[in-house]
Structure 1
């Protein structure tokens, strides 16, 4: 694999996203990172663009008997995205999906509250919002987050990610005003494939980026 397509770590990936955002003259008002892995990149983007950093949270909805296999995702306000093809292939029904939606929405709310602490949710009215993550695969979590943000009064939504498979990125371009993606490799097998250091980000480390 071409080494130029690898990122040293999440912070360096964020710095490269900043370059791409500047090249496109995107005038951001706020950066929203998807925790946990999106926060190191979000911090780099927010600092370089001199904008506030906050979060948008969603949880995956797992298949019956196989919770690691996502059939959708739900954001902290209940906004949901369902992967219809994956859902049909699992034998799950609407009742199961709705139950899991409620459970995971509550988990997402708790996570958002824990990360924000005493801070209130940001007002996105008339704002250009840059949503940052460390990469996308199927994009379930990102799509639920975008559904959440579409319910706000944000003026413009920009998704900024270092890497994702071409088909997912193409689909996401229909969901936002602009997608900034540095690499769309056809040999995509997983986000971590394109990082030299892709260690898991702990909750404590992720929350520290919000306090910087």
Structure 2
């Protein structure tokens, strides 16, 4: 299965979630997108479910010299979540990675200011929280997000993505109460390979998606 673009992936994911929601399992859910690629996917899901949409900012920490490869992730002011096995294989230490963490935390705060503009996260105590991204390679960012949300005492945490690696799926199931993934290809190498169009989602597109969603809810 390949998706045409983020919106197509979101619609397909929404169909799967609607089937599961028929038994009431997603009643009173709030949808949280992981920016930036998860936002257009999550917008389609939230529309289909009639659920509120917001964002949870999280940042990957890349391997020095190979930033596309994740070695950790951060969200909020939480300490980094590291892939300790990869750190050991590469001979990396937390001190060596500290400058990269500082840089990503600055970008995290920039996005927080831009996307949220001082708004707090929705109240999730006792609610079902549906976390949506456009795909998982290592799954580190999603796991960091889920751990941060768990401390806010939701009733249930659901992670939903269109595509992921089998390894990321196994790790995600340890963090989420329920995990939904449409496609787990054995030959997975990168999320973008499973989209026909995978242009990077921009800040303006994120803001546009959020405004359009809010306008449709108010109409």
Report the TM-score when normalising by structure 1.
0.91
Alignment match, 2:216? none
| Alpha carbons of structure 1 residues 167 and 210: separation in structure 2 relative to 1, 3 Å | same
Distance (Å, rounded) in 2 between the aligned partners of 1:188 and 1:58: 23
Alignment match, 1:139? 139
Query: SS at 1:169's partner residue?
Result: helix
For 1:17-36, what aligned pairs fall within 5 Å after superposition? Answer: 17-25=13-21, 26-28=25-27, 29-36=29-36
Kindly report the root-mean-square deviation, in angstroms, between the aligned alpha carbons of the 2 structures. Answer: 1.7
Distance (Å, rounded) in 1 between the aligned partners of 2:103 and 2:153: 27
Alignment match, 1:74? 74
Distance (Å, rounded) in 2 between the aligned partners of 1:198 and 1:103: 25
Deviation of 1:98 (Å): 4.5
For 1:11-160, what aligned pairs fall within 5 Å after superposition? Answer: 11-25=7-21, 26-28=25-27, 29-160=29-160
Structure 1 runs of 4+ aligned residues shifted over 6 Å read none
Matched pairs, number:
208
Q: Is the 8 A contact 1:78 1:105 kept in 2?
A: no
Distance (Å, rounded) in 1 between the aligned partners of 2:133 and 2:172: 13
Alignment match, 1:191? 191
Distance (Å, rounded) in 1 between the aligned partners of 2:32 and 2:181: 16
Distance (Å, rounded) in 2 between the aligned partners of 1:17 and 1:62: 28
Distance (Å, rounded) in 1 between the aligned partners of 2:134 and 2:199: 12
| Alpha carbons of structure 1 residues 200 and 94: separation in structure 2 relative to 1, 3 Å | closer
Gaps of 5+ in 2: 213-219
Query: SS at 1:107's partner residue?
Result: helix
Deviation of 1:22 (Å): 1.5
Residues 25-34 or 157-166, more deviating:
25-34
Distance (Å, rounded) in 1 between the aligned partners of 2:69 and 2:47: 35
Distance (Å, rounded) in 2 between the aligned partners of 1:84 and 1:70: 12
